[in-house]
Amino acid sequence: MKVTGIKQFRIADPSGIGGGYHIVKIETDAGISGLGEVGIPSWGKAVTGAIEHLSQLVIGEDPWSTETLWQEMFRSNFFPVDRVYTCAISAIDIALWDIKGKSVDKPVYKLLGGPVRNRVVCYPHIAGSSIEELIAAAREVHEQGWKFVRWQLPSSDESFPEPGVLEPRESINIAIESVAAVRDALPDIEICLDVHTRLDTTHSIQLCQALEPFKPFFIEDPIRAENPGSYEKVSRKVNLPIAAGEQWSSKWGFREAIENEWIDYARIDLCIAGGLTESLKITHLAETHYIDIVPHNPLGPVSAAACVHLCMASTNVGVQEMPKAPGSFATDLFPVQIGFSDGYAFAYDAPGLGVELNEALAEQHRLSEEDDFLPRMTRRDGAFTNW
């Protein structure tokens, strides 16, 4: 079996997650194909070019050679690749694993070592224009069977939570009030607060210390990701579980934080950090330090499936990000998806990832060729700050 071609679909889906998906389909001379997903779809043109470039290394090769192909894609240009190329590698690698599973009529999780659990507990995204609306959203998903809730660090004015202005001290006060309110309304639910890299170390430490009485499951991305060493300061002063890593693009980004045990949960993004091949290595590295994975998944059904297959085959799993329940969105584009029930996702005993793409519809819903940017946030003085 040899790879014969790589197709790309940049798909608009305003009703889905993030407004669209960047899907890769790899075809073989055996008539078996596989799907992968790009982790930063807003970098579409750059990642499209990277995938076209890397296809020169992949087309004509055996799709079972995932380790060899990963090493060649990562290292063939001498200089270590950046996130544009790791997004491309990730999508290609996930699609190759999908092919591998289909070629032997096995789900991917069985190729990763077999199931250690039957299902994976997940957390959804909630939001609201006020703390009262946030509580109502949390209560709604709790009644649907979810065991967790997650929302982002709020902004500073009355348009809570996403008006475009963020002043750290004001945002911290709203965050403390909102966590306290949700904890009081739903004492048994697990709370995940995503700081979304919006605070510096000092402000993040102040926030975490104030949140200790409410016992959140974790605080996510409390600081920016460029310097993993800054997590040492946070870990020394904070007595709450810290989750980080969604912006790190390979095992080397995680190495220092895991080895020094500066984080409690590893936020691997399978569609950025190198696909299943690299994410499995990061997971095993984390296991040696008793660190659970909580894979980052703000994307579509292919990303969700890859994450759940990894979690089903991994011992050290905390919870899986799942903004919306699989099968509840994009069912026209992805008529076959993984399963979901009562706050848990699971992969069926079906070959590969267990996701199918309606190519004809994907072609009809192609994104424009122009790339866009994510929302932009500022301080009141006009200075740019992280979204």
- Domain residue spans of the chain: 3-106, 110-353
Token output for 60: 């004509």
Q: Which one of 3.40.50.720, 3.40.50.1370, 3.90.1010.10, 3.20.20.120 gives the CATH number of domain 110-353? A: 3.20.20.120
DSSP 137-175: HHHHHHHTT-SEEEEEPP-SSTTTT-SSB--HHHHHHHH
What phi and psi values does residue 107 have, to the nearest 5 degrees?
A: -65, 150
The whole-model pTM stands at 0.96
For Cα atoms 54, 112, 20, give the angle at the middle one, nearest 5 degrees: 50
pLDDT at 160: 67
Q: Among residues 261, 142, 250, 267, which one has the least CA distance to residue 196?
A: 267
Q: Using 50, 70 and 90 to split pLDDT, how confident is the model at 249?
A: very high
Q: Using 50, 70 and 90 to split pLDDT, how confident is the model at 141?
A: very high
Residue 158 has pLDDT above 60, yes or no: no
Token output for 360: 């004809």
The third-level CATH classification (topology) of the domain covering 3-106 is: Enolase-like; domain 1 (3.30.390)
> Distance (Å, rounded) from C-alpha 382 to C-alpha 375?
15
